[in-house]
Amino acid sequence: MPSSAILCPPGFLDRLEAFSQLGSTGDGGVDRVEASMANGEARRALARRMDELGYQVRIDPVGNMFGLMPLAEQFAGQELPWVFAGSHIDSQPKGGRLDGAYGVIAAVEAGAALKERLRGRPVAANLAVVAWTGEEGARFQPSVLGSSVHAGLLPAETALARKDGNGVSLAQALDAIGFRGTDHAPKPAAYVELHVECADALEKSGRRLGVFDRWWGAHKIELMFIGATAHTGPTPMAERKDALLAAAEVITGLRRLADAAPPGTLHTSVGRLEVLPNSPNVVPDRAKLFMEIRSVDPDVMADAHARLMGLIPHAAAIARVAHRIVREEIRPPGAFAPSLRSLAREQAAALDVEPLGLDTIAAHDAVPMAIVCPAVVLAVPSRDGLCHSPREWTEPADLELGAAWLGAVLERLVTEGPQHG
Ligand SMILES: [Zn+2]
């Protein structure tokens, strides 16, 4: 076990702080929405730093940024697998400075420190650090866009054609900041992501490190109710075809499904509602709902979905409207690689910390990666569980501990091989 002496890379907190000035909103947060000017500035700073540390910078067609560190150069001619570490540097419009960026900066700095430590020692893998495009889904949907493309779950052309609210495609937006690349990147043999928890289980337990064991699944459904416009004054109540009334029935019904389930087993939401014509004195003829059902149990998800499908015709009948499912998308729940989870626990023990096992309800780039290779997410506490907020905060000592932990995990993977365990 080589790693009890592994420390946080030198200057790490200063680098992280300097990076959070790019796209700063002045209140501790950042606005680095994907392919915005601030995001482009952050990408350029990241590319410069990768280059300075000896990484070969590669940009793929959807703007994913890779820093390749071929540690196995001494085995010329031998194809060694690639161990990946990274996260994302895009943010929500009023996002926090740690969500994503923490994992990317830690991977870049820890990878360079690892290269120094490995000088003259045999290795079993190369290292690649990565900043994935469009993890947040704030501007281009779906979320975890770039990692899904690299995992082969989403065609690059589909991702590039996705449009923001102003009709600008990802391709156009990446062109505008000069980050629509042509490079090919290797495929990962293992993927490690360091991330702030974005929930409060660590804080509540008093533990400083967490390992994500499982991810929750999400079933996202866009539903349209179609009624008829009419004057809200004279039209008799019994003759109205009110699309918004049907939407209201579904909104409260979907909430009741979660309230009736054991706590912490089912989350449901309607996060967005589009109403037309959206005039105070016109009965709405269109209401579009953006709904979500989330659980770690596929049976709970399926049951909630079946109940929702039962609610919809009932709501439509009450409001005398038609309905249509516009789009459905399922991300099944799953478990991260047991081999990587136990390796992460061993390396935490070497740092004298016992990590807490966690579920992630939010998506991370490690979820699409987990479909194609062993993957794991290492977590440090989020104060008050806050994420997507300028008030995101993790104790500096915990940020350093997490970066040291990532370095220790990567060292094991690179020296022993990604199929470890
Ligand atoms: Zn994130």
Q: What is the pLDDT of residues 231-290, one digit of tens each?
A: 999 999 999 999 999 999 999 999 999 999 999 999 999 999 999 999 999 999 999 999
- CATH of span 217-331: 3.30.70.360
pLDDT score recorded for residue 5: 60
Q: Per-residue confidence at 3, pLDDT binned at 50, 70, 90?
A: very low
Q: Could you state, in order of their start, the residue ranges of all structural domains in the chain?
A: 3-215+333-416, 217-331
The Å distance, Cα 185 to ligand 1 centre, comes to 22
Quote the pLDDT of residue 72.
77
Q: What is the pLDDT of residue 421?
A: 42
Q: Measured in angstroms, how far is the CA atom of residue 364 from the centroid of ligand 1?
A: 6
Q: How many residues does the chain have?
A: 421
What φ, ψ does residue 287 adopt, rounded to 5°? -140, 120
Ligand 1 mean position to 4 CA, how many Å?
28
Confidence at 78, pLDDT banded by 50, 70, 90? low
Ligand 1: centre distance to CA 136 (Å): 7
Q: How far apart are CA 199 and CA 21, in angstroms?
A: 24
DSSP string for 163-186: B-TTS-BHHHHHHHHT-------P
Query: CA-CA distance, 283 to 286, in Å (whole number)?
Result: 9
Determine the distance separating the centroid of ligand 1 and the alpha carbon of 100, expressed in angstroms. Answer: 4
120 C-alpha to center of ligand 1: Å? 35
- pLDDT tens figures, 295-329: 999 999 999 999 999 999 999 999 999 999 999 98
Q: pLDDT tens for residues 131-184?
A: 999 999 999 988 999 999 999 999 999 999 999 989 999 999 999 999 999 999
Q: Measure 172 CA to ligand 1 centroid, in angstroms.
A: 24
Say how many Å lie between the CA of residue 133 and the centre of ligand 1.
11
| Mean pLDDT of the region 214-243 | 97
pLDDT in tens, 27-67: 999 999 999 999 999 999 999 999 999 999 999 999 999 99
Q: Which residues surround ligand 1, an ion (CB under 5 A)?
A: 99-100
- Asked: is 3-215+333-416 a CATH 3.40.50.2300 domain? The reply is no
Joined together, the tokens standing for residue 155 give 């065609």
Q: Distance from the CA of 81 to the center of ligand 1, in angstroms?
A: 26
Distance in Å, CA 106 to ligand 1 centroid: 14
* Secondary element (H or E) of residue 48: helix 37-52
Decide if 3-215+333-416 and 217-331 have a common fold.
Answer: no
